[in-house]
Structure formats: structure tokens, C-alpha cells
Amino acid sequence: MGSDAAVSATPPPRSAVPATPSIRPTLRVAGLGLFSRTREGSTTVTVLTRLKALQNRCKLTERSFHSLRHYFCTTLIRRGASVEAVRQLAGHSGLAVTQRYVHATAADLQGAIAKLSGN
């Protein structure tokens, strides 16, 4: 007998965005060994330590990894990615989680209204 359970056509969400071959050269040139494999592995502590060192080396304001996830999701949406695509890339279990990561500014709201007049 067959099962009545629904089968999802999409793969389960991933917990990390892979460094695709197309962006690896950019990361190497920029000196971003943030996610490269090392003897100690890519533990959370290793990634966070490398992130902090990279921010200091580049004289950037320190940001938490979590705040970068918010930036990642918001930027993708602002540049036209679908909410579902962002949900999958971020590894969120549902759209409600993704919506908490995306932040609208006054300019975003004005731009949305301007679309009504074709601008």
C-alpha cells in the first residue's frame, strides 16, 4: 500500500552556504581563509576567531557572525532574490524565520510604493 504522506520536491535546508567554485578565487585573493579547511577543522570557534581577525586586519567595525546573517538575508531580498531562495540559502526552517532576518528601511518602503506608479 502507498503512503499518504506528502513528499517535498525541494531538498532539506542546508546549514551553510557552500563556497562555490566561482567565488573561491575571490575569497583567496581577498585573503579570506575564513572557511578554508585546516588541521583544526572548521569549528564555530575557528570561524569566529578568523572573522574577528579578518575584521581587525581590514580595519572594519567588528560585527557578529549572526549580524552578518541578517545582512546577508536583507541584501539578497533588496537585490531581488525571492524570499524562498533566501530561506533555503540561510537554512531557515520556514518563511517566518526568514522574515525576522530581513529588515526594511524607509527607503525600501518608499521604493515599494514607487513601484505602483511604474517607477
Backbone angles phi, psi at 54, to 5 degrees: -65, -45
- Whether the per-residue pLDDT at 13 is higher than 50: the answer is no
> Which position has the higher pLDDT, 20 or 83?
83
> Which position has the higher pLDDT, 27 or 88?
88
Average pLDDT score over residue span 78-103? 90
Residue 47, helix vs strand vs coil: helix
The two most distant CA atoms of the chain are separated, in Å, by 63
Sorted by sequence, the CB contacts under 8 Å of residue 72 that are 6+ apart come out as 89, 90
| pLDDT tens digits for range 14-28 | 444 555 555 556 555
pLDDT at 114: 92
CA dist., res. 102 & res. 98, Å (int)? 7
